[in-house]
């Protein structure tokens, strides 16, 4: 019970630390996805039954067509499913506003206490 009273009256929690993350992770993921498409295209033309026994020019054309088709699918998916959500943006703005108001209110109270003490 004494520990509960201590937590309520005297102990303060620290502010949570914000982590920056890995850095420019989106570029890394895009690079890995592109390499994956290139490798899949290579495997498709090198070992697929469709291109068995064909000339190099046909295989290169097939690989280019495969990669262009994958890029077109990515483009259509980006249009259909955008990366940002307007509701999430609004929620972040509301959270920032509440944080500013809490900090402003807490700062005003501490300033008034300091003025009373002096």
77 and 101 inside one domain? no
- Domain extent for 64: 23-83
Q: State both tokens at 93.
A: 């703005």
In this model, does residue 78 exceed pLDDT 80? yes
Residue partners of 70: CB distance under 8 A and separation at least 6: 37, 40, 41
Q: Rounded CA gap, 79 and 62, in Å?
A: 26
Q: How confident is the model over 15-59, as pLDDT tens digits?
A: 666 666 666 788 888 899 999 999 999 999 999 999 999 999 999
Q: Which residue has the higher pLDDT, 39 or 8?
A: 39
Q: Name the E strands within 1-118.
A: none
Largest Cα separation within the chain, whole Å, is: 92
Shared-domain flag, residues 41 and 91: no
- The domain total for the chain is 2
Q: Does a structural domain hold residue 51?
A: yes
Tell me how far apart the alpha carbons of residues 74 and 58 are, in angstroms, rounded to a whole number: 24
């Amino acid at each position: 019970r004494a520990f509960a009273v201590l937590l309520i009256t005297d102990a303060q929690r620290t502010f949570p630390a914000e982590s920056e993350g890995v850095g420019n992770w989106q570029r890394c993921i895009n690079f890995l996805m592109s390499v994956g498409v290139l490798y899949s295209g290579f495997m498709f033309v090198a070992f697929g039954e469709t291109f068995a026994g064909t000339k190099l020019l046909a295989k290169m054309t097939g690989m280019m067509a495969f990669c262009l088709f994958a890029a077109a699918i990515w483009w259509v998916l980006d249009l259909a499913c955008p990366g940002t959500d307007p509701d999430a943006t609004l929620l972040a703005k509301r959270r920032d506003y509440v944080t500013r108001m809490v900090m402003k209110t807490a700062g005003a109270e501490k300033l008034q206490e300091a003025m009373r003490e002096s």
